[in-house]
Amino acid sequence: MTPNLLILAGTTEATALGAAVAEAGLRGVVSFAGRVERPKRQPLPQRIGGFGGVDGLREYLRHNAVTHVVDATHPFAAQMSRNAALACAAENVPLIALTRAPWVAQVGDQWTHVPDIAGAVAALDRPALRVMLAVGRMHLAEFAPNPQHFYLLRLVDPPQTPPPFPDHHVLVSRGPFTSADDRALMQDHAIDLVVSKNAGGTGAYAKIEAARDLGLPVIMIDRPAIAARAEAFSVAEVMAWLSHDADRGV
């Protein structure tokens, strides 16, 4: 049977997989949550917006005769990953996650680990600093309890509402970033501290290298827990998984 994929997107890996799937002449749809205003162009058809929970996703899988799901969401998109696991199990649709290993502290890194956004907010309950807050615009409001800091905000899209801090600077950029540029950026804004999610991968790593080079501390937000699942760490692994299933007639 020719595979008909649903790729749950939002990452550069999802875009790369879409290109490989299109190149191989397979069918598939790339799905975005709609968090960014201009998602990257895809060589496969795309859809935007939630499915309506597990039941909505089950209905989508049935209605569109999806044969395989690849969860290539951001490592912090835990709700979507949970929903995909439950919906695929219920509909008996094979699922694999295309994911990336978390970053691991290197010599010279000064990381304080916190379990979630609330932990990062608590860690900022201290006298005023100049903070690079790299958590995405969805989470800015959660930092309102600490308005004493200057915040450097680098966002993919402009904030929808004014950030809840009197002293901030917004930089709208999608990257890619280099560690040299991020070092210069941190120096220009006299940054004392960086707050980052442990996204893993290369796309967002420049600021971590820059902080290391400048001897700056990082509040590192650890990933949400996700139940054990089949995982791939490259597009090639996912393509091999698909052809293995196709060979077995799944």
Q: List interacting residues with ligand NAP (CB under 6 A).
A: 8-10, 31-33, 35, 50-53, 56-57, 73-74, 76-80, 83, 136, 138
Least Å from the CB of residue 109 to ligand NAP:
22
Which residue number, 12 or 179, has a Cβ lying nearer to ligand NAP? Answer: 12
The region that residue 136 occupies, defined by phi over 0 for left and psi between -120 and 50 for alpha, beta otherwise, is left
- Token representation of residue 35: 């968090």
Least Å from the CB of residue 247 to ligand NAP:
28
Alpha helices in the chain (DSSP H): 12-23, 53-63, 78-91, 117-123, 179-188, 206-214, 235-247
Which residue number, 74 or 154, has a Cβ lying nearer to ligand NAP? Answer: 74
Which residue number, 154 or 183, has a Cβ lying nearer to ligand NAP? Answer: 154
Contacts of 125 (CB under 8 A, 6+ apart): 145, 146
Angle at Cα 236 formed by Cα 233 and Cα 237, nearest 5°?
Answer: 50
69 in Cβ contact with 91 (< 8 Å): no
d(CA 58, CA 16): 25
Which residue number, 56 or 166, has a Cβ lying nearer to ligand NAP? Answer: 56
Least Å from the CB of residue 134 to ligand NAP:
10
Which residue number, 50 or 108, has a Cβ lying nearer to ligand NAP? Answer: 50
- Whether the CA torsion 199, 177, 235, 138 is positive or negative: it is positive
Least Å from the CB of residue 159 to ligand NAP:
13
Least Å from the CB of residue 110 to ligand NAP:
23
Which residue number, 83 or 99, has a Cβ lying nearer to ligand NAP? Answer: 83
Angle at Cα 55 formed by Cα 53 and Cα 60, nearest 5°?
Answer: 95
d(CA 42, CA 22): 9
